[in-house]
Amino acid sequence: MSDTRNGAATAPLILICNDDGITAPGIAALAAALDGLGELFVVAPASEQSAVGHAITVRDPVRAHPWAFSVPSGEVRAYSVSGTPADCVKLAVNQLLPRRPDLVVSGINQGPNTAVNIIYSGTVSAATEASILGIDAVAFSLCQWQGGDFEPAGRVARFIAEQVLRRGLPPGILLNVNIPPLPSDQIAGIRITRQARSRWEESFHERVDPFNRPYYWLTGQFVNLDDGGDTDLDAIEEGYVSVTPIQYDLTAHQHLDAFRSWSWDAVPE
Ligand code: MN
């Protein structure tokens, strides 16, 4: 891949974002893994924004501060942003980047973004925001809640990013990639999967603050409701990288005709 330092204007511009915050090990691993693949630019939240979903900041200012960020080959331009992952992508694309990026990558998240977690995920939402803006995007997550080695996941991320840069994605479609927490030589392969049906069985811990008022802390148990065998959860369980093509068009297209057949001719007065 050519390099802008050699005067070539062809190096793809790659925006790197996440939801764990700019100091998280996963974003350092992702940037390091993509070193040399193009011109890298990091715009990430100043503090952890996990599970904020697609929230955006509209009632407060969003501030961006230049941040010292380096990869093995040298310094990468980076900004720490006071907002959400979706804010980061909007601000980067509209204001901070020198031109429109060729690819937006998000992660590598600490923890899986499989099944229903996709909808809560800030990592996926950064990539979704890019897709809404018409830019190819991939979200990467390491399926381990704490610690772990991000380097094998980084190699997977580079392999997939290269392929996306080469082939491009269909309009409105992004890739949600989950990587099992295994050494490279133990990863069984890469599978195209669908999002598993699942939910959290929630429970709230009730506690009491120093002023004697109750407060609540959400916890829960993840439940796989899917026995399909071809889901993101199945792939991870069997040691495969899971690649799920997803979209932000939430229309239930398969039910449009059924609902059109209801009675809609009378508008209540
Ligand atoms: Mn996270």
Q: Is 10 exposed, middle or buried (0-12, 13-18, 19+ CB in 10 A)?
A: exposed
> What pTM was computed for the model?
0.94
Is the C-alpha dihedral spanning 110, 112, 116, 122 positive or negative? positive
Residue 266: its pLDDT value, please? 86
The beta-strand segments (E) located in the chain are 13-17, 39-45, 64-66, 69-71, 74-81, 103-110, 137-142, 173-179, 189-192, 198-208, 214-224, 240-247
Q: How far is the CA of 109 from the centre of ligand 1 (A)?
A: 5
CA 112 to ligand 1 centroid distance, Å: 9
Going from the Cα of 110 to the center of ligand 1, the distance in angstroms, rounded, reads 5
| Ligand 1 centroid to residue 132 C-alpha, Å | 21
User: Would 257 be classed as within a structural domain?
Assistant: no
pLDDT of 2: 42
Domain of 64, CATH number, reads 3.40.1210.10
Q: Is 136 exposed, middle or buried (0-12, 13-18, 19+ CB in 10 A)?
A: buried
Question: What distance in Å separates the CA atoms of residue 55 and residue 66, rounded to the nearest whole number?
Answer: 23
Q: How far is the CA of 49 from the centre of ligand 1 (A)?
A: 7
Ligand 1 centroid from CA 56, angstroms: 16
CA-to-CA distance for 193 and 179, rounded, in angstroms? 12
CB 144 within 8 A of CB 183: no
Task: For residue 7, report the distance from its CA to the centre of ligand 1, in Å.
Answer: 37
Whether residue 164 lies inside any domain: the answer is yes
How many domains does the chain fold into?
A: 1
pLDDT in tens, the chain (269 residues): 444 444 445 899 999 999 999 999 999 999 999 999 999 999 999 999 999 999 999 999 999 999 999 999 999 999 999 999 999 999 999 999 999 999 999 999 999 999 999 999 999 999 999 999 999 999 999 999 999 999 999 999 999 999 999 999 999 999 999 999 999 999 999 999 999 999 999 999 999 999 999 999 999 999 999 999 999 999 999 999 999 999 999 999 999 999 999 999 888 88
Cα–ligand 1 centroid distance for 96 (angstroms)? 23
Q: Return the pLDDT at 267.
A: 85
Q: How far apart are CA 95 and CA 81, in angstroms?
A: 12
pLDDT at 180: 98
**What pLDDT is recorded for position 5?**
47
End-to-end CA distance of the chain: 64
Question: Is residue 267 in some structural domain?
Answer: no
The CA 107 to ligand 1 mean position distance, Å, reads 8
Is 219 part of a structural domain of the chain? no
255: in domain: no
207 in any annotated domain:
no
> Cα(39) to centroid of ligand 1, in Å?
24
- Is 25 part of a structural domain of the chain? yes
Q: What is the DSSP string of 200-233?
A: EEEEEEEEE-TTS-EEEEEEEEEEE----SSBHH
Q: Which domain holds residue 167?
A: 5-197+229-248
Cα–Cα distances in angstroms (integers) from residue 9 to residues 3, 4, 64, 239, 248, in the given order: 8, 6, 27, 39, 32
Residue 140 domain flag: yes
